[in-house]
A = this chain, B = another copy of it.
Amino acid sequence: VLFLQGGASSQFAMVPINLLDDKSEADYLLTGQWSKKAVAEAKRYCKVVNIIADTSDSKFTTAPSQADLALSSDPAYVHYTPNETIVGVEFAYIPETGEIPLVADMSSTILSRPVDVSRYGVIYAGAQKNIGPAGLTVVIVRDDLIGTANENMPAMFDYKIHADNESMYNTPPTYAWYLAGLVFEWALEQGGLPALAETNKRKAEKLYAAIDGSGFYSNPVDVSCRSWMNVPFILANADLDAAFLEQAAAHNLKALKGHRSVGGMRASIYNAMPEAGVDALIEFMVDFEKRNG
């Protein structure tokens, strides 16, 4: 495990810089804005970026099934984004890629539940969702994938340099490390990832149930791949958006505005959001619907 300065945006470059080795192609699953950014950055280094799944036709409200995935003939790796924050879509399974290393941008899902690390070649995650403050990235790399970085690229992008120096090749982001350590201890005190998973599942399910049970709110994502972390919803009448946000804020329910590309609302219910916060949101939503529905 490496603890690096910077965020996932740097990892979009670090993955091809380290994993391409003598290959020139990589496979990417395009399932939202974050995977789109990963693809754009990969094109700086890959001769060909194969898009082996593309859910843009559904406006990213679906996830491809395993059967949909047709790996190219000789990719250096397969990259996907288990959870996309803007539309709130996540994979309910880990893609099977055989001998090809699987790479995941877990920024918005890491620590939300247990994960079988052995299935991955590389896992990377910006800290700012479930780990700690922005400016720190956690990278888990399979040993045999370390040591093949392109040497014409910055030393800071070489897994091996970081691994050999125990993440201290440069002055590390010490305060962010410290805070992340406190979060890891907190997670263990809660009962670890299985306990966090139970809570997160319950938080998400009750919020989706409230949305689906109303005729006033709706969520467009296929039920098979709804995110536990990011729950977007729209109001039946968008003219009420401003009133919803203002009244919610008056109840200390903040940062609910949806991403500008999809509009509406978005409740990001990472580990830091307690179940009581979700309950309060649901209560407010029911009340708002009564008064405006």
User: What is A's interface to B at a CB cutoff of 8 Å?
Assistant: 5-10, 12-14, 17, 41, 44-45, 126, 128, 133-136, 151-157, 169-176
Task: Give the distance in Å from the alpha carbon of A169 to the alpha carbon of B174 in the complex.
Answer: 23
CB pair B155–A5 under 8 Å, yes or no, is no
**With A134-B175, A172-B134 in contact, is A151–B44 under 8 Å at CB?**
yes
Q: How many copies does the complex hold?
A: 2
Chain B positions within 8 Å of A171 at CB level:
7, 9, 126, 128, 134
In the complex, what's the smallest C-beta–C-beta distance from A283 to chain B, in angstroms? 30
B-side contacts of A154, CB under 8 Å: 10, 13-14, 17, 41, 44, 153-154, 157
Which residues of B lie under 8 Å from residue A12 when comparing CB positions?
A: 155
Q: What is the CA–CA distance of A134 and B169 in the complex, to the nearest angstrom?
A: 13
Complex CA–CA separation, A175 to B45 (angstroms): 32
Q: Can you list 6 A-B contacts (CB < 8 A)?
A: A5-B6, A6-B10, A7-B171, A13-B154, A44-B153, A153-B153
Contact A10 B156 (CB under 8 A): yes
* Docked-complex contact A170 and B5, CB < 8 angstroms: no
CB distance from A118 to the nearest CB of B (A): 29
Residues of B within 8 A of A10 (CB): 5-6, 154, 156, 170
Q: Which residue of B41, B45, B133, B173 is within 8 Å of A174 (Cβ)? A: B133
Instruction: With A171-B134, A174-B133 as known contacts, state yes or no: A156 contacts B9, CB within 8 Å.
Output: yes
Could you say which of B9, B153, B156, B173 contacts A173, with CB atoms under 8 Å apart? Answer: B173
| With known contacts A44-B151, A44-B155, A152-B44, A9–B174 Cβ distance under 8 A | no
CB-nearest residue of chain B relative to A5?
Answer: B6
B7 touches A7 (CB 8 A): no
Q: Is the CB of A135 within 8 A of B176?
A: yes
For A174, the chain B residues whose CB sits under 8 A away are 128, 133-135
- Beyond known contacts A5-B10, A135-B173: 7 more, CB 8 A cutoff: A5-B5, A6-B6, A9-B156, A44-B151, A44-B154, A134-B174, A173-B173
Q: Measured between alpha carbons, how far is A141 from B254 in the docked complex, in Å?
A: 37
Shortest distance from the beta carbon of A164 to any chain B beta carbon, whole Å: 14
Q: Given the complex, which residues of B lie within 8 Å of A175, measured CB to CB?
A: 133-135, 175-176
Chain B residue at smallest Cβ distance from A129: B171
Chain B residue, CB-CB nearest to A157: B154
What separation, in Å, do the CA atoms of A129 and B171 have in the docked complex?
Answer: 11
Alpha-carbon gap, A200 to B169, bound state (A): 30
Assess the B136–A9 pair: CB atoms within 8 A.
Answer: no
Q: Which residues of chain B come closer than 8 Å to A155, judged between CB atoms?
A: 9, 12-13, 41, 44
Interface centre among A41, A126, A155, by most chain B C-beta atoms within 10 angstroms, is A155
